[in-house]
Amino acid sequence: MMNREYIESGILELYVFGLLSESDMQEVQQMAAKHKDIEQEIVAIEQAVVNLSYSVSPHLSAENFEKIRQKLIEKHDGFIVMQPRRDTFAQYLGWAAAVVLLFGLGFQYYRYNEVVEENTKVVAQRSQFEQLVASLEKKNNATEEALSVIRGKNTATVRLAGQAVAPQAYARVYIDRDAKQTYVDVAGLPEPPKGKVYQVWALKLNPLAPTSIGIIASTTDKNGIFTVDTYEGAEAFGITLEPEGGSPSPTLEQLYTLGKV
């Protein structure tokens, strides 16, 4: 068989993809070692497949050629019987179609993973947005409720002025006589230090008798307005800084605000 006939038989393409029997593989290797044009044709076929892989699916890795070869080997149980080649163009077209199919499937899988990842991100962002909206609605409802109490005709306001330990501090107590509820606005107090809380006291003045009506751990929660226990007959209100959990009696050295009814 002349070299040209040998090249056009299709055996070199099968050799490149590892689809020949062991004896045929050795034969091609021997022919390539003896004939320069056969060796060059093998190199050209390998390069054509690699170039085609990059042009069809540029996103895939450099191992494309090896993956295609392994897929074809598995498909044909390791080797096939060589058949005479009838048409060079048809042979190349068949290999090109196989490569296009393999890389087309690979690219579709790549895009599928991208879409799944993007969809997961969108779902997570939507969940975060819904949580934010729910939180804002909750805060808005609390603000509206507090404003309705403050503006009520039968709501009494008690202003608590800053004391020696915190002259710039201030607070307000709102007593809703209709609903018999008491609120305290501590927006004028600094955030309590770690391990400390504010404790609100209703006071009888003569003799002095303090009663705890609430503990506030943070001045920034609930827009600074908190519901505390209602104490009938209170003559004054005070707020002290106490250890976490509160105290049975006020620490007068840590009296932040005080105001008479």
Which range scores top for mean pLDDT: 81-85, 177-181, 191-195, 217-221? 191-195
Contact 191, 220 (CB under 8 A): yes
Question: 86-96 burial string, b = 16+ CB within 10 Å, else e?
Answer: eeeeebeeebe
Tens of pLDDT, residues 108-163 = 666 667 777 887 888 888 888 788 777 777 767 766 766 676 767 788 899 999 99
> Is pLDDT at 48 greater than 90 in this prediction?
no
Q: Is the pTM higher than 0.85? A: no
pLDDT of residue 81: 43
> Is pLDDT at 83 greater than 60 in this prediction?
no
β-partners of residue 162 are 257
DSSP state of 60: S
pLDDT of residue 79: 45
> Is pLDDT at 236 greater than 60 in this prediction?
yes
DSSP one-letter string for 61-95 = -TTHHHHHHHHHHHHTTT-------S-HHHHHHHH
β-partners of residue 215 are 199
